[in-house]
Structure formats: C-alpha cells, structure tokens
Amino acid sequence: MARPHIMVVPYPAQGHVIPLMELSLILVKQGIKITFVNTKENHDRIKSALPSGDGLLSQICLVWISDGLESSEEKKRPGKSSGAVLKVMPEKVEELIECINGSESEKITCVLADQSIGWALDIAEKKGIRRAAFCPASAAQLVLGLSIPKFIHNGIIDKDGTPLEKQVIQLAPTMPSVSTEKLVWVCVGNKTTQRHIFQLMVKNIESMKKTEWLLCNSSHELESAAISMAPEIIPIGPLLSCDQLGHSAGNFWPQDLSCLKWLDQQSPNSVIYVAFGSFTKFSPPQFQELCFALELCNRPFLWVVQPEESKIAYPEGFVERVVERGRVVGWSPQKKILIHPSVACFISHCGWNSILESVSNGIPVLCWPYFADQFLNKSYVCDVWKVGLGLEPNESGMITQGEIQSKIHQIFKDEQLKSRARDFKEKIQIGTGQGGLSNKNLDSFISWIKG
C-alpha cells in the first residue's frame, strides 16, 4: 500500500509556519510523507536559515509557490499581501495538487491546512481529498470566532464585526476575557482592513466546519473551559519538539546560537529574556524607554532586536553601560532559551507560540501585547493561569521605564507566582506525556491519516 502523503499548507507567517513544521516532523517520524508548501520568499528564508547538517530537508519535502508579489516592499502593504494570500496562493496550491496527483509520484491523501486559510480546505474538498484544519492560536480564540453569530445576535457587534459599545467579553468563568475594542479583527489596521479580516474569519469558520479534524496547538490542561465549549476542537499540543527531536524547524532567520553559551555563564534564574516575535515594531521613544528599564533594573538580560529594529538608536552610551550583563541578538533559538536554567522571566508580546513555550517551561511572563490574539493570551497568563503580570500603558499609550522596572521587580520577588508557574509546567507535561489527552488525540489523528 502507498504511504499516506499529506500536503501541509501554513498561513505565510512565522508564528504559523513553526508549529505546522513541528507537527510535520512528528508525522514524518510515523512514516507519513509530507509536502510542506511555503511561499517562495518564506521557502528561501527557511532554507537559508537552516543550520548546515540539519536533516530536515531530507525528511520533509519543502516546496514553494508564488504569492504573486514581486518585492518585499510590496509584501509589507497590508492590502497587497492579504490579496495575494486570498487570490494568488489558492490558484497555485490547486495547480500543485493537480500536478502531484497527475504524476507518477505518491498521491496526496490529505490536506492539512492552517485554519486561517480556509480556501485550502475548500480546494481539498473540491478535489475529493481528506482534510484537516490546524489552529496555531488558542482554543479560546477559536471559540470567539465560532461565537460570532451569537455576538451579532446579542448586539455585541454589528454584521461587519464593529462593536456596538465597549464591553468586556468573557464566555465562561475560567475563560480569558477580552475587551470588544481588542477583538482580533478590531485591533488591526483601518476600518476597511478590519472589515476584510472579519469577513475572512467568518468564511474560514465555514470552511473549517467541513473538515474531519480541527486540530489546535493547545491542551486540556491549558484550556479546559474553551475546549469543553467547542468539542470539535481537538487539542494536540503544545507542539514543542525542540527538546525531543533536536530541531528548531521553520525559522525565517538564522538563530544566533552563541547566546546559549552566554546563558551558560549566567547564574540560575537570573536572566530576563526579552522578545516580541516576528511582527512587533516599536516607536523610537518606546524602544528607548525599554532600554532605560533594562539598564536600570540591573539584572542580566537577553534581548532579541531584529535587524530592522536595530536601526532605531540606542540611548547614548547604553551599549557600553550594559555590555557586561546585556546581550542583544537578531534572532534567538527561543525554545532552547526558555528551557535554559538561567532564564528567570520572559518579557513577551504574547504571541501564542511564545506563551506556550514559556508556560511549558515554568517561566513567568511579563506581558506586553500589541495586537491580534495577544490581549486574549495576556488574559490567560495574568487572570486565568496567574503565571505572569501585565505591563500597563500610561495615558499616552507608552509603557514607561518605571512600569517595566516595577513589574520586573514584582515578578522576581513574587515566590507564589513563580511556584504557580513551576506547578503549571508539571500540569502541562501530563497532557503531552504518554497517556495524556493531547498525546492520545495526536495518536488518533495519526491512525486516521494511516487508515
């Protein structure tokens, strides 16, 4: 019998590619063939960021399609890039399926696509191929999406997704809360972009309903209330294979591994790790405010400043003053950092992957959310799991050096919070360990693929 062959299609962004790559590596180990589809730009970035000798390429068939955008500049324009994801990529994916299934090579038996590109699932349905959706965000975020009709019916939002008044939504007592002005489609871009994102979410949910599996990078231990509200969500996470398989797959930028040696030289539980994912950009005054806070808190820190960001000037003399205890890198091996015993806390933008990587290792989080689902994730950390603190902006929207310094100080001295974070790590490991629910769900999915 021919082996199962899955075409994996991520949304073309860093926080979406990494967890699907993790899942792909697990599936490959089960003898399943994986064809992983990236846009040309992301494909090139992943290949050139892979450390030499990494066996990833021999295990997963990495292929690329055009996203129809010529230049990196064009890709940065929001309307242009989402237009490409919606118009150009579907055509190319369909052509690729036809090409593979029309050739002598192993036929695609399943499409595993990011839930935020429902069109890939629609194409699979049209072609009579089995399909599974994967959500790289929280189950709570999915439940919010599934609740859109109820929100419209109850007059919380209008049919374009615009909130009718400001209020806080909390769907169950142990669910995170989010203000209507921070709903994922409300806190991005201008009104037109917001409407488009909202319509797309509604459409994606329809596509998702037609799949056999709705996998989520989460677990019962993390989100029991959300998962019980929508039993169609099948948690299989957290997918953090770095320690099991030795890979840090799917990075768009080469990881600066030298910071691991630097971490080895620091005392246990002493280092503040600071990273804001792949999207977040600071204004120069906000960047400088963070510099002053890191300088004044007088503790070792490891800070990821992406090359574009590093064009913002550091305060005069900052680099010389912190050189003894501060390390700045362009892109870090984040998963390896968060399991390192020297790391004490993580100042994070609250992307779901970063949150999973932190709480799975018992590292308290200092939350600095910017947009999308990050506010909801912050609520999980601060209100539900109680394993971190939130940074609050002042009346001008600035997170001041005083606020950062004071919250760092609180995290370091709050023994109860640190102990909750450690206990939570143990609890999460139950789900992914042998016999755990995430583990069993993953096994069922693999059996279905092979069946």
Under the binding rule (CB under 6 A), the answer on residue 18 touching ligand UDP is: yes
Task: Tell me how far CA of residue 225 lies from CA of 4, 136, 158, 174, 297, in angstroms.
Answer: 34, 18, 26, 6, 38
Q: Report 214-273 residues binding ligand UDP (CB under 6 A).
A: 251
Under the binding rule (CB under 6 A), the answer on residue 205 touching ligand UDP is: no
Q: How many CA atoms lie within 13 A of 47 on its CB side?
A: 16
Under the binding rule (CB under 6 A), the answer on residue 360 touching ligand UDP is: no
151/15 Cα distance (integer angstroms): 28
395/59 Cα distance (integer angstroms): 52
**Please, what is the minimum distance in Å from the beta carbon of residue 108 to ligand UDP?**
27
- Tell me the site size for ligand UDP, rule CB under 6 A: 18
Q: Which is nearer to ligand UDP, 242 or 291 (CB)?
A: 242
**Please, what is the minimum distance in Å from the beta carbon of residue 189 to ligand UDP?**
16
**Please, what is the minimum distance in Å from the beta carbon of residue 18 to ligand UDP?**
4
Under the binding rule (CB under 6 A), the answer on residue 380 touching ligand UDP is: no
Under the binding rule (CB under 6 A), the answer on residue 278 touching ligand UDP is: yes
Task: Tell me the DSSP string of 213-233.
Answer: EEEES--HHHHHHHHHH-TTE
Using an 8 Å Cβ cutoff, are 367 and 388 in contact? Answer: yes
Under the binding rule (CB under 6 A), the answer on residue 279 touching ligand UDP is: yes
Binding-site member from 4, 10, 12, 15 for ligand UDP (CB under 6 A): 15
Task: Tell me the DSSP string of 10-21.
Answer: --SSHHHHHHHH
Under the binding rule (CB under 6 A), the answer on residue 373 touching ligand UDP is: no
Q: Which is nearer to ligand UDP, 41 or 414 (CB)?
A: 41
Task: Tell me how far CA of residue 235 lies from CA of 214, 378, 383, 417, 442, in angstroms.
Answer: 8, 20, 22, 26, 8
**Please, what is the minimum distance in Å from the beta carbon of residue 331 to ligand UDP?**
4
Joined tokens for residue 46 = 């992943």
Q: Which is nearer to ligand UDP, 45 or 130 (CB)?
A: 45
Q: Which is nearer to ligand UDP, 96 or 387 (CB)?
A: 387
Under the binding rule (CB under 6 A), the answer on residue 134 touching ligand UDP is: no
Q: Which is nearer to ligand UDP, 129 or 328 (CB)?
A: 328
Tell me the window of 12-20, 124-132, 229-237, 433-441 that interacts with ligand UDP (CB under 6 A): 12-20
End-to-end CA distance of the chain: 11
Binding-site string for ligand UDP from residue 307 to residue 346, where x marks contact by CB under 6 A and - marks none? ------------------------xx-xx-----------
Q: Which is nearer to ligand UDP, 370 or 448 (CB)?
A: 370
Q: Which is nearer to ligand UDP, 200 or 242 (CB)?
A: 242
Binding-site member from 97, 236, 259, 275 for ligand UDP (CB under 6 A): 275
Q: Which helix (H) or strand (E) holds 401?
A: helix 401-413
**Please, what is the minimum distance in Å from the beta carbon of residue 316 to ligand UDP?**
26
Q: Report 30-89 residues binding ligand UDP (CB under 6 A).
A: none
**Residues making up the chain, counted from first to last:** 451
Quickly count: other Cβ atoms within 10 Å of residue 407's Cβ: 23
**Please, what is the minimum distance in Å from the beta carbon of residue 278 to ligand UDP?**
3
Binding-site member from 46, 139, 291, 304 for ligand UDP (CB under 6 A): 304
Q: Residue with the closest Cβ to ligand UDP?
A: 15
Task: Return the DSSP state at 85.
Answer: I
Q: How many CA atoms lie within 13 A of 205 on its CB side?
A: 15
Residue 90's Cα: distance from chain center in Å? 23
Q: Which is nearer to ligand UDP, 26 or 275 (CB)?
A: 275
Alpha helical stretches, state H, 66-184: 72-76, 78-83, 89-101, 118-126, 139-146, 148-153
Under the binding rule (CB under 6 A), the answer on residue 354 touching ligand UDP is: yes
Using an 8 Å Cβ cutoff, are 106 and 5 in contact? Answer: yes
**Please, what is the minimum distance in Å from the beta carbon of residue 275 to ligand UDP?**
5
317/388 Cα distance (integer angstroms): 31
Closest CA to 143 of 106, 177, 92: 177
263/242 Cα distance (integer angstroms): 18
Binding-site member from 59, 218, 353, 441 for ligand UDP (CB under 6 A): 353
Q: Which is nearer to ligand UDP, 266 or 374 (CB)?
A: 374
Using an 8 Å Cβ cutoff, are 240 and 18 in contact? Answer: no
Binding site for ligand UDP (CB under 6 A): 14-15, 18, 251, 275, 277-279, 304, 331-332, 334-335, 351-354, 357
